[in-house]
């Protein structure tokens, strides 16, 4: 019986993967690919866990939120 044992990826394996990626995509395209992959992973995590974006609030517009009943009362008040 053959036993397959998977170990962690070491430095030589990472270098081989990096060289193959460098040959496939080139030196100009590789940083763009890395940054887009990082953004995609962060967007996926944000969508998965429902976290708010960093440095910002939720997608609601800034300002006070007025309920429809309050809008009606404010419109009926004399100025």
User: How many Å is the Cα radius of gyration of the chain?
Assistant: 26
Closest CA to 45 of 57, 53, 34, 56: 53
Using pLDDT thresholds of 50, 70 and 90, give the confidence band for residue 49: confident
Using pLDDT thresholds of 50, 70 and 90, give the confidence band for residue 41: very high
pLDDT at 8: 83
42 CB neighbour count, 10 Å cutoff: 13
Instruction: Extract the tokens encoding 43.
Output: 């967007």
Which pTM does this prediction carry?
Answer: 0.44
Residue 21 to residues 4, 11, 17, 42, Cα–Cα distance (Å) = 26, 15, 6, 22
């Amino acid at each position: 019986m053959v036993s397959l044992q998977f170990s962690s990826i070491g430095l030589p394996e990472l270098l081989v993967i990096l060289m193959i990626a460098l040959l496939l995509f080139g030196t100009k395209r590789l940083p763009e690919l890395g940054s887009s992959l990082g953004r995609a992973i962060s967007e996926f995590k944000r969508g998965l866990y429902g976290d708010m974006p960093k440095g910002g609030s939720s997608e609601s517009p800034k300002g006070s939120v007025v309920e429809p009943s309050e809008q009606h009362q404010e419109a009926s008040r004399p100025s």
